[in-house]
Structure 1
Amino acid sequence: MFGFGRKNEFPVEGRVVVITGGSDGMGRAVAANLAGRGAHVVVVARRVSKLQSTVEEMRHKALNSMKQRFFYISADLTDPAECDRVIAEVTGWNYGSAPDIVWCCAGFCHPGFFTDVPISVQRQQMDTVYWTAANTAHSTLRNWLAPVPPSGQMKNPRRHLIFTCSTLAFTPIAGYGPYSPAKAAIRSLSDTLSQEIEMYNGAYTQRHRNSAPAADVKIHTIFPMGILSAGFDNEQKIKPELTKMLEEADKPQTPEEVAQISISALERGEYLITTMFVGNVMKGTALGPSPRNAPVGDTVLSWLSNLVFLQVIPDLRNKAFNWGKTNGLPHPECPGRDEMECQTPQS
């Protein structure tokens, strides 16, 4: 009842983990945390200098630096061919065996009002948020789900594909028009894959009869709120003042907090994972047909959350209306700020 003696559903010691976006923020914190739990970790990002620094941090925090191995790959994951290269390179580095866990953390947020942000930037958001995750998932699952002849099959530990999303996929906030649709797309992809993967898992259980994947697979998705990082600082510089007001309930967490909470939830076997109470309430309003972590608990949470949000959504819309009534439209030279604010330099 209280979790005593519960099986760890996410063992990582001695397993190979790939973390995209692993050179900064949450991705880097996850890499360091898993290194401390005995995992062999490969971090993937664009900037080599940051990747090298992350590898050094993992070596410093490793559970057993003599046995654990760490590696980095510089890649542009908006290119599906690069994702194929990453999985192939990791497999070669791992003596011909595929990685056990792939965690998608790549992406950044460009906040702004929908009509103020050029379509080119909005396409870039979809590329760097959704398509880096979808490309990585496609390359990973094509590798993991390839059938293995019965003669070559053996029972393997479960593999895990993890997406990093945002609570904006549950409850959009004005000023995130370029970003939240990409996160909502990840949530939809995750729900779809959580069904599709069961076909392959079913075949795996009957591996003595037909060709089947080498291991069963579980899908998970993490939904943080604000995360204190260099990326967050950059967001704050361009984020509309209205957006800052509307998200006052979001008290940003450190990357280390988000990593620890997420990993603890993965060890409990959870599917949709939030990292703070407000995020959990937001999840409750939007569960829909998504699989539940705890059917009874999540259903009760959904009822209560929807009662709360009967007031929250009208309040958010009223605040946006009153903001426009008081401050007018954003100044064209300073998107997100009214004319008086635009004349005052930001610190």
Structure 2
Amino acid sequence: MGKLEGKVAVITGGSSGIGLATAKRFVEEGAHVVITGRREKELQDAAASIKTNVTAVLGDVARLEDLDRLYAIVKEKHGHIDILFANAGAGTIAPLAVASESHFDQTFDVNVKGMFFTVQKALPLFNDGGSIILNSSVSNVKGLAGFTAYAASKAAVRNFARGWTMELLGRKIRVNCMSPGAIETPALETTTGLTAEQAKQAAEQFTTMIPMARRGKPEEIAAAVTFLASDESSYITGIDLPVDGGMAQV
């Protein structure tokens, strides 16, 4: 018996990186997983790599009609949700002096608005006693030049966990944050707006900020999310769990 045997889990941003690694781990632990993503080929490739007990639903968390369609499919296929990993996020580098309105809006549309309605629209399907895990970031407590809109959006996510913990106590639904540090995912090269050389330099700079002197692996994040999703964390709610090699801790 796996830690998540027979559970139904929804993972947003499940086509690569942390989301995909977590989907694979959830399935290994016995869950049925529904993954979402904005890029159809990557999403289908992700589902093929998971192989079993997975449903892929194309969609953008910042589009409420896409969230409605996601949960309609979950309801039709499974009837309920036990676990939600609200993982989808976006972050491009833009210093304050040159940041545009579109940069700000995109960041908050995905990381804040998308997160808010991902959770809200899941609630009618949620089993009492379930687990919600929000993907925040160590930037929610760090000052990182060029990432201020992103960091502010992730600080909002941290506060969502606090407020929703209190709102959902009556249903015994636990809500926790998980905050990664610098992780070896494609995001640094593909979504931040950096060139390949700049991304390499950024990875090296991040490494100097980490006491463990390396970036984390998506599988290490997946292990922490699995813990928060499972009954092993039954007396934990409202926390922010940093998985960062000590980056924001010392």
Q: TM-score, normalised by structure 1?
A: 0.62
* Structure 1 unmatched ranges of 5 or more: 1-9, 60-64, 145-155, 202-215, 282-307, 309-347
Task: Give the aligned partner of residue 173 of structure 2.
Answer: 217
Task: Give the aligned partner of residue 57 of structure 2.
Answer: 73
Task: Give the aligned partner of residue 197 of structure 1.
Answer: 168
Cα pair 1:224 1:279 within 8 Å, conserved: no
Across the aligned residues of Structure 1 and Structure 2, the Cα RMSD in angstroms comes to: 2.5
| Aligned mates of 1:77, 1:196 — CA distance in 2 | 22
CA offsets, 1:82-107, max 9 Å, x none? Answer: 2122112111011xx21211111111
Task: Give the aligned partner of residue 276 of structure 1.
Answer: 244
Q: Match of 1:141, as an amino acid? A: L
Q: Match of 2:73, as an amino acid? A: E
Task: Give the aligned partner of residue 262 of structure 1.
Answer: 225
Q: Match of 1:55, as an amino acid? A: A
Cα pair 1:41 1:70 within 8 Å, conserved: yes
- 1:89 paired to 2:68: no
Aligned positions of 1:120-139 closer than 5 A: 120-139=102-121
* Alignment: residue pair count: 237
CA offsets, 1:8-51, max 9 Å, x none? Answer: xx941111111000001100000011111111111111112111
| Aligned mates of 1:265, 1:120 — CA distance in 2 | 34
Poorly superposed stretches of 4+, deviation over 6 Å: 241-244
Task: Give the aligned partner of residue 115 of structure 1.
Answer: 97
Name the structure, 1 or 2, with higher relative contact order (CA <8 Å, separation 6+): 2
Higher strand share: 2
Q: Match of 2:246, as an amino acid? A: V
| Aligned mates of 2:225, 2:58 — CA distance in 1 | 25
| Aligned mates of 1:106, 1:246 — CA distance in 2 | 22
Q: TM-score, normalised by structure 2?
A: 0.85
SS class of match (2:168):
helix
Cα pair 1:106 1:129 within 8 Å, conserved: yes
Distance 1:172 1:14, change over 3 A: same
| TM-aligned CA deviation for residue 263 of structure 1 | 2.1
Task: Give the aligned partner of residue 100 of structure 1.
Answer: 82
Q: Match of 2:26, as an amino acid? A: L
Cα pair 1:112 1:175 within 8 Å, conserved: yes
Cα pair 2:141 2:248 within 8 Å, conserved: no
Cα pair 1:226 1:232 within 8 Å, conserved: no
Distance 1:47 1:119, change over 3 A: same
Q: Match of 2:122, as an amino acid? A: T
Distance 1:115 1:89, change over 3 A: same
Distance 1:129 1:274, change over 3 A: same
Task: Give the aligned partner of residue 249 of structure 1.
Answer: 209
Larger Cα-atom Rg = 1
CA offsets, 1:301-347, max 9 Å, x none? Answer: xxxxxxx6xxxxxxxxxxxxxxxxxxxxxxxxxxxxxxxxxxxxxxx
CA offsets, 1:102-124, max 9 Å, x none? Answer: 11111122123112221211111
* Structure 2 unmatched ranges of 5 or more: none
| TM-aligned CA deviation for residue 262 of structure 1 | 3.2
